[in-house]
Structure formats: structure tokens, C-alpha cells
Amino acid sequence: MPSTTNELANVTPMIVARDIRKRFGVVEVLKGVSLEIAKGDVVAVIGPSGSGKSTFLRCLNHLETVDAGEVLIAGETLVSSDAAGVCRYAPDAELRRICRRMGMVFQHFNLFPHLTVLQNIIEAPLTVKGLARDAVVPKAEELLRKVGLFDKCDSYPARLSGGQKQRVAIARALAMEPDIMLFDEPTSALDPELTGEVLRSMRQLADEHMTMLVVTHEMAFAREVSSSVVFMDAGEIVEARAPAEMFSSPAHPRTQAFLEHML
Amino acid sequence: MDYIIEILGPLLQGTAVTLQVFLLTLLLSVPLGLGLALVRVSRFHLASAMVNGYIWLMRGTPLMLQMLFIYFALPFVPVIGVRLPDFPAAIVAFVLNYAAYYAEIFRAGIQSIERGQYEAARVLGLSYGQTMRRIVLPQVVKRILPPMSNETITLVKDTSLIYVLAMNDLLRAARGIVQRDFTTMPFVVAAAFYLLMTLVLTWGFHYLEKRHAVYDE
Ligand SMILES: Nc1ncnc2c1ncn2[C@@H]1O[C@H](COP(=O)(O)OP(=O)(O)OP(=O)(O)O)[C@@H](O)[C@H]1O
Ligand SMILES: [Mg+2]
């Protein structure tokens, strides 16, 4: 029988974003975005270029600071706004601890070019968590096996294909044992024939019930893997629905127009 | 040939002075330059602006003037005024001057590292200091080796400026013998010595560049 705390933990969303606002200069890029993601959910974010998808993602892990709104990660407050609209971030140490619960995979991989594949993966566990090398290396090798790149352990990133780089980036993020994985167009920089291998690794992660938020142009991935699809346009979430409904009968004309264009 | 061996003694003594100035300057100005560059790119705007001003001052006036100032004028400056013997005065001037040049090289290197590197480090939980130490600076070293090599070779030759403080470096030693013996041979030997020093440096930097070439970008 599950304990009460466990039940509570199960109903506490992994990510809560409330009324996130963000402007760059005079341009309001996020006009009050709210979203809740439960543990194990895989949420695909779709939408036209410039609609604020990346900015939204980056507000969740403090790569951008929000102008207003609230972000809670697994029940812990990253940032909150008072009635006057002044927002306050958690103290530095806490902020870093909370953000560490989220791994992130970038469009352009951002691997560390001066480190080998294995070194890329163990860098953060060594320096941030202060773990011993002996403890970290076997785990890193296991992750590399999982993404099918064990034989590339000692290669430098420049020697890898785009798809391989992105799988290393996924392994690198996973090495910090995050509760949430954020993906910002992980396959957009790849040749079409290389997207499959990356999507396969992501699908595997979803099967293991990782909580995932994925900005993507891969409609097939959104349809098949995600538990819900969020459509963003012009700094707003226009609609968020189960993938089957979203793709068969989008409610909003803007969504319809976008999907027609994409499919 | 006998003549060359005869003048080798004083020329080698001069070379020792030259090498001392060179090595001490290198050893002190590179770390100082790195420190200045880190302040320059930091978010402490006032400190950054002060470093900027310092670099402008040091690169905007002749090294010889700075050396003369520290040796002759500094003793009369209130509060900070000290009278330094010639060798320390030369070292202070060289270090202050070269730190400014090295700082600019480091700054350019640091700023050439893509934002994605900082972001990747940050989402992995690395602090700013860890990001600099583990991710940014190791990559900077590779990128700045060519300009560093350039600047360091210039330093070898700039050491000859210490003759204004009447110190017997390689060039001054050679000139002394030229004036005494009415032959230009000492200049030729001195040139060979300078070439030898820069050759060793060139090799050294080549070796470093090769070592860093294990990865591409
Ligand atoms: N650092 C920044 N400074 C100024 N404007 C920015 C910045 N980052 C993003 N923007 C602007 O904010 C808007 C939203 O950008 P964002 O990158 O979030 O869009 P996106 O939905 O991810 O688009 P894409 O599909 O092209 O990646 C764009 O108009 C962009 O030009
Ligand atoms: Mg984007």
C-alpha cells in the first residue's frame, strides 16, 4: 500500500509554471504562459519560429530570468511573484540545487570540445557532486552503452556525427540523474537520416518514465511519444491537448493553420 | 674564431641578464594578465572599467617611458613613492606593461568561447568559477597560443630596452665591445643569441600547439 507522502509526491506536479512573462527590450516574448507537467509526462511543445518556445524552456531552468510569474520544480519554488508583480528568485544555493534537478539538451549539442566523450559525461558528477572517479566512470560507461556509443568513449566530440554528439549530450545530462529532461529542438541541427537515432534514445527515456519537456518540429515524435502536446504561438499557449486529439481535431484556427503547414 | 670566444664571456653575462628579465617578466605577467582579464570580463562593472583604463594606459604609452618613470619619477610620487634599484624597477615596468598585453589576449580568448559552453556548464550545475577553470580556460589556452607566442617573442627583444637604466643586458654588452674594439662582430653574435632564444621559444610554442591539437573544435 502506498504511503500518504508517496501519494502526495505523486500528485505534486514536476513542473508548475504560472503566468510566466518575459520581454526582451520592447518585445514581449512570453505573455503569461502557464503549464503543469506531472511526473512521467512527456510534453511536446510545438509552434512557429519565434513563438517563444525556447525562451519558455530557458525560463524554467533559469537560463533566462522571468519578468513575472511563478515556477515550481517538484513543489519547490524557483521563482515567485508577489501581488505587486515583483518576482523573487530562490537564494543562490537553493536555485542551483533546484535547477540541477533538470537536465537540458540543446539544439547545437554544446559538448565540451576539449574533453573526450567519457570526460564530457563525468565532468559534472566529478566537479559538481564531488564524486570519486571510480564511482562515476562505470555509470558513465553504462549510459554510453545505453545510447549506443560505448565504443566512442575516448573520442573527441569533433570526431562524432551530429546524431552521435546529441546522444552524448543526452548521456551527459542523464549522468547528473535529473528528475526532468528539457529538450530544445534536439534534432533540428541534424541531417534527416540522423534524427532517428536521437529520437530512439529519447523514446527509450520516455519508456522509463522520465519527465520530459520537448520543443520539437518532429510531429511524428510528438504524436507517438508524448502524453500531451502544447501549441505555442506569439508568446502564448494556444492549446494543450492529448496528441491524438491535437493532430486529428485541433480546436483553434491558429493550431489548424500551423499543423496544416507542418504535415 | 678566437675573437668570438674571447667576447663570448661578456656576451653570455649579458644574455644572463636578458634571460632573467625575460623569465621573471613572463612568470609574473602571464598570471597577472589572466587575473586582469578575468576582472575585465566579470560582472563587476567598476572593476572592469578600471582594468580597461589600466590597459589603455599601459598600451598607450611607451614601455621605455614607463620604465624611466618607475626608476626616476616614482621616488618623488607622494604616498606610493619608492626608490627601486635598477633591476627591480625594470621588472616592475615590464610586468605591468606585459600584463596589459597578455590581459587583452586572454580577454579576446575568453570572449571567443561560445555562449553555449557556459550554458551547458550551467545546466550541469557548474558554478561560474568551475565553468571558467574546467571548461572555458582550457579551451582559451588552445586558441590564444599563437598570439601568446607572438607577444612572448616580442618580449625577448623588448628586454633590450633596459639599457636605458644602464643595465648590462645582451645588447648593451655587445655595443660596449663594438665601441671598444671597432668591429661589428659582437652585434652578429648578439643577433645569433637572440635568434637562438626566439627559436627555442618558437619550438616550445609549437610543442604546446601540437599537444593541444589532439582535439579539433
Ligand atoms: N536573448 C535575446 N535577446 C533578444 N531577443 C530574443 C532573445 N532570445 C530570443 N529573442 C526573441 O524572442 C522571440 C522568441 O524567441 P524563441 O527563441 O523563444 O522562439 P522559438 O519559439 O524558440 O523559435 P525557434 O523555433 O526559431 O527556435 C524571438 O522573436 C526572438 O528573436
Ligand atoms: Mg527555439
Count the Cβ atoms, other than its own, within 10 Å of residue B192. Answer: 12
Query: Would you state the pLDDT for residue A4?
Result: 46
Q: What's the whole-number mean pLDDT along residues B80-87?
A: 87
Q: What's the whole-number mean pLDDT along residues B93-104?
A: 98
Query: Which of A20-29, A77-86, A116-125 is the least confident region?
Result: A77-86
B195 CB-near residues (< 8 Å, 6+ apart): none
Q: What's the whole-number mean pLDDT along residues B9-31?
A: 95
Q: What's the whole-number mean pLDDT along residues B165-179?
A: 92
Task: Map out the domains of chain B with their CATH numbers.
Answer: 2-212 (1.10.3720.10)
A61 touches chain B (CB under 8 A): yes
Angle between helices B86-111 and B137-158 (to 10 degrees): 140
Residue located via cell numbers 568559477: B129
Interface size A-B, in CB pairs within 8 Å, comes to 64
Looking at every residue in chain B, the average pLDDT score rounds to: 94
Query: Would you state the pLDDT for residue B2?
Result: 85
Name the residue at shortest CA distance from atom 13 of ligand 1.
A50
Query: Would you state the pLDDT for residue A98?
Result: 96
**Ligand 1: residues within 6 Å at CB?**
A 24, 29, 47, 49-55
Nearest-Cα residue of chain A relative to residue B118: A110
- Classify A110 as helix, strand or coil: coil
A176 CB-near residues (< 8 Å, 6+ apart): A100, A103, A124, A125, A128, A129, B124, B125
- The CA A229 to ligand 2 mean position distance, Å, reads 16
Query: Would you state the pLDDT for residue B214?
Result: 86
Compute φ and ψ for A43, nearest 5 degrees.
-110, 125
Q: What's the whole-number mean pLDDT along residues B13-28?
A: 96
> pLDDT at residue A94 above 80?
yes
* Distance to chain B for A96, nearest Cα, Å: 7
Say yes or no: ipTM exceeds 0.90. yes
> pLDDT at residue A3 above 50?
no
- Classify A23 as helix, strand or coil: strand
Name the residue at shortest CA distance from atom 26 of ligand 1.
A49
Query: Would you state the pLDDT for residue A246?
Result: 92
* Distance to chain B for A85, nearest Cα, Å: 26
CA distance A35 to A29: 16
Q: How does A140-171 read in b/e, with b if 16+ C-beta sit within 10 Å? A: bbebbebbebeebeebbbeebebbbbbbbbbb
CA distance A6 to A12: 10
In terms of pLDDT, which residue wins out, A262 or B84? B84
- B119·A123 Cβ contact <8 A: no
- B123·A127 Cβ contact <8 A: no
In terms of pLDDT, which residue wins out, B81 or A48? A48
CB-CB: which of A99, A108, A158 is closest to B217? A158
Query: Would you state the pLDDT for residue A9?
Result: 54
- A112·B120 Cβ contact <8 A: yes
Contact A231, A33 (CB under 8 A): no
Query: Would you state the pLDDT for residue B1?
Result: 76
B44 DSSP β-pair partners? none
B130-140 tens-digit pLDDT: 999 999 999 99
The torsion region of residue A209 among left (phi > 0), alpha (psi -120 to 50) and beta comes to left
CA A45 to chain centre: 10
> pLDDT at residue A262 above 90?
no
- A61·B125 Cβ contact <8 A: no
Determine the residue of A20, A22, A53 to mutate for testing ligand 1's pocket, defined as the one with the most ligand atoms within 8 A of the Cβ atom: A53
B8-19 tens-digit pLDDT: 899 999 999 999
CA distance A152 to A168: 9
User: At B95, which amino acid appears?
Assistant: V
Q: What's the whole-number mean pLDDT along residues B99-126?
A: 97
CB-CB: which of B130, B142, B217 is closest to A127? B130
> pLDDT at residue A26 above 50?
yes
Query: Would you state the pLDDT for residue A223?
Result: 92
CA distance B59 to B102: 11
Straight-line distance from the first to the last Cα atom of chain B, in angstroms, rounded to the nearest whole number: 51
> pLDDT at residue B50 above 70?
yes
Residue-wise DSSP of B39-100? HHTSS-HHHHHHHHHHHHHHHHS-HHHHHHIIIIIGGGSTTT-----HHHHHHHHHHHHHHH
A141-174 tens-digit pLDDT: 999 999 999 999 999 999 999 999 999 999 999 9
CA distance B201 to B150: 10
Query: Would you state the pLDDT for residue A8?
Result: 53
A4 CB-near residues (< 8 Å, 6+ apart): none
In terms of pLDDT, which residue wins out, B3 or B114? B114
